[in-house]
């Protein structure tokens, strides 16, 4: 989770399992370390977003804050599935922000 805490997406890409699955909810799906690594590359260069690790409804997640709106209230989250030290599943709710309604969020320091 260290890469998620610091926004170090090179570290995050190194954590991806070879057969990692990505779902950008309502928009697209990607499979495999190469395709999903490109997805994190886009986050790495974006200046709009600020990231924080969390647990959302009991699952590992990355909170995403829009620095143009609020650094106190997350805009959305990215749910993460781990197998050991590897990320095997990612569900990004960028385009499904309604998912924030009613979820239980616990920040990780």
Nearest Cα residue to 6 out of 41, 34, 44, 39? 44
Strand pairing category for 59-66 and 49-56: antiparallel
The pLDDT confidence band at residue 7, using thresholds 50, 70 and 90, is low
Condensed to tens digits (0 to 9), the pLDDT of residues 85-94 reads: 899 999 999 9
How far is residue 104's CA from residue 91's CA, in Å, rounded to a whole number?
16
In tens, the pLDDT along 30-77 reads 999 988 888 877 877 888 998 889 999 999 999 999 999 999 999 999
Contact 31, 22 (CB under 8 A): yes
Tokens of 91: 């569900």
Query: Considering the entire predicted model, what is its pTM?
Result: 0.88
């Amino acid at each position: 989770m260290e890469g998620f805490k610091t926004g170090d997406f090179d570290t995050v890409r190194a954590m991806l399992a070879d057969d990692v699955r990505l779902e950008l909810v309502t928009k697209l799906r990607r499979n495999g370390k190469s395709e999903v690594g490109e997805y994190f590359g886009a986050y790495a260069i974006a200046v709009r977003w600020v990231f924080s690790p969390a647990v959302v409804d009991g699952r590992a997640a990355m909170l995403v804050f829009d620095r143009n709106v609020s650094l106190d209230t997350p805009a959305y989250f990215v749910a993460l599935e781990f197998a050991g030290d590897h990320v095997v599943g990612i569900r990004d709710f960028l385009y499904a922000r309604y998912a924030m309604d009613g979820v239980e969020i616990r920040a990780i320091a």
